[in-house]
Amino acid sequence: MRRGARAAAAAGAAPLEAGGGWRARARPVPGGGRYPAGDFCSRCGLCDTYYVAQVGEACAFLGPGMARAEALEERVHGRVRDAASDERHFGVFQERFAAAMAPPVDGAQWTGTVTSVAIAALESGLVEAVVCVQSHPDDPLRPMPAIARTREEVLASRGVKPSLSPSLEVLAEVEAQGIRRLLFIGVGCQVIALRSVEHHLRAAGLEELYVMGTFCADNGHAEGLQKFLRETSSDPATVVGYEFMQDYRVHLKHSTGQYEKIPYFCLDANTLSEGVIAPSCASCFDYVNGLADLVVGYMAVPYMGVPMTAHPTIVHVRNRRGAELLEPVRARMVEAPLEDSGDRKPFVLETLLSDDRAALGRVQAPAPLPVGEALATVLEKVGPKGLEFARYSIDYHSLRSALKVKREFSEKHAGQHIPAYAAATFAEYDKGGALSERVQWSSWAEEEAAQTAKRRRRLEAALAALSSAGEFRRYALLLLTVAVLLGAIAFGATN
Ligand code: SF4
Ligand code: SF4
């Protein structure tokens, strides 16, 4: 069902011209061309269609960028997030729970919640088509956006393709096919752009748009994924998926059915800090996909000692449409208790400092395997768990993105791009300006020089305090002597 985006753009433009000449005038970015957001483009696919004409009002990296995720909440969900509650981290939701599909969907990344919801939406007639991401025939990990209209076509999209996917490149095709009720499955930056142009799709005939999102962080280009797998796995060619689990280990799933588990601390931060995570994803503030109707993801569920294909995920139902999507599969889901324990804050700062220093160039050897295993085992017992682990991950990614954006965007653009909920997180951890001062440093040498200067200033201040104490003692002695003499004179006069 999928057609090339540019061919679709041509095919879709003509019938819609009466409603908007911008489609005909638009020039999609040609193959190998530069995207409007430059290096920060997350290749969401919008600019591969005539929708490039709307990039200024939709792109998650231009102008208000990621702050659109917050600005559009009221329109999408009927209200903004309650920043005084857990919605500050997780976005608007009316219900959430952890659950696994029973039985699981064979071949899914987890137990197949996303696949099951999409199939049910199609087969119940809720939607006519589903925009999903299938695998390229030559490479199962290479994303290939598609418009699915059958169970088989949705099933072909099982499993995560962990690199940037131009999912919005099918928008022109959606219009060309005259689809009136659509389910879009995607990640935060794509959903921000989609919600921003939704009114144009509706003007062209779309009647209902359902959006099912997944959590997303640390994504990257295909080459970055290959580098990550080469550096992490003993057999990168057979990896079909991976996840950073709550047992402080990366679980790599192989096509053989085997799992490889590497403690976080054994990863080479210096090597992985370059060319793995795309600049867009290192500037992202929408990990939780705040504008989707229904969000399915892992990060808030403690590791339960079972393979990913049997492991519960967490579901956030954000609004009425999310509840409608979930309703037909709810009876096939087995719920698991939600956990929430530990204190994320010291772990957030520790992880941020360690990663930021590696990014600035401090050489840091990965821990030897036995040490990494011991650390992971201890942290699994004493570290944040369940929802608190998710808050840890959200805070850490938010702070890391804020540092990058403040360093690399203009002050005005950074101010527009960072949503208020992320700015509040930055302020919360910026005690004594500890984070703000990091913004100034662009290399480890600069940080070292600044830290040395700071230590010297502290030492000088301490010495100055000691010396003033010495001065004080001298004056105090003098005053005491004068007081004694005056006392003696007064005593002599009275006698
Ligand atoms: Fe265009 Fe999407 Fe890239 Fe922004 S992120 S420049 S909207 S393709
Ligand atoms: Fe988009 Fe953010 Fe995911 Fe990158 S990390 S693909 S910018 S949602």
Residues 133 and 151 in one domain: yes
Which one of 319, 340, 361 terminates a domain?
340
| Residue whose C-alpha is closest to residue 109's, from 395, 252, 309 | 309
Between the CA of 465 and the centroid of ligand 2 the distance, in Å, is 51
Q: 470 is in which domain, residue-wise?
A: 453-495
Which one of 340, 373, 392 terminates a domain?
340
Residues 326 and 355 in one domain: no
Q: Whose CA is nearest to atom 7 of ligand 1?
A: 59
Q: What is the spatial distance between Cα 268 and Cα 352, in angstroms, rounded to a whole number?
A: 15
- Whether 23 shows a pLDDT value over 60: the answer reads yes
Q: Lowest mean pLDDT: which of 20-24, 97-101, 163-167?
A: 20-24
The total domain count for the chain is 3
Residues 180 and 307 in one domain: yes
Residues 350 and 326 in one domain: no
Binding site membership of 398 for ligand 2 (Cβ less than 6 Å): no
Identify the pLDDT of residue 464.
87
Sign of CA dihedral 103, 106, 108, 113: negative
The answer to whether 38 and 181 have CB atoms below 8 angstroms apart is: no
> Which of 62, 244, 280, 418 is the pocket-test mutation for ligand 2 (most atoms within 8 Å of CB)?
280
Identify the pLDDT of residue 9.
44
CA triplet 445, 414, 214: central angle to 5 degrees?
100
Q: Give pLDDT tens digits for 207-240.
A: 999 999 999 999 999 999 999 999 999 999 999 9
- Whether 490 shows a pLDDT value over 80: the answer reads no
Nearest ligand to the CA of 189 is: 2
Residues 368 and 429 in one domain: yes
pTM equals: 0.90
Q: Give pLDDT tens digits for 230-289.
A: 999 999 999 999 999 999 999 999 999 899 999 999 999 999 989 999 999 999 999 999
- Whether 323 shows a pLDDT value over 70: the answer reads yes
Mean pLDDT of all residues belonging to the chain:
92
pLDDT band with cut points at 50, 70 and 90 for residue 6: very low
Average pLDDT for residues 116-142, to the nearest whole number? 95
Contacts 24+ apart (CB under 8 A), 24-32: 24/50, 25/53, 26/50, 26/51, 26/52, 26/53, 27/52, 28/52
Q: Whose CA is nearest to atom 3 of ligand 2?
A: 216
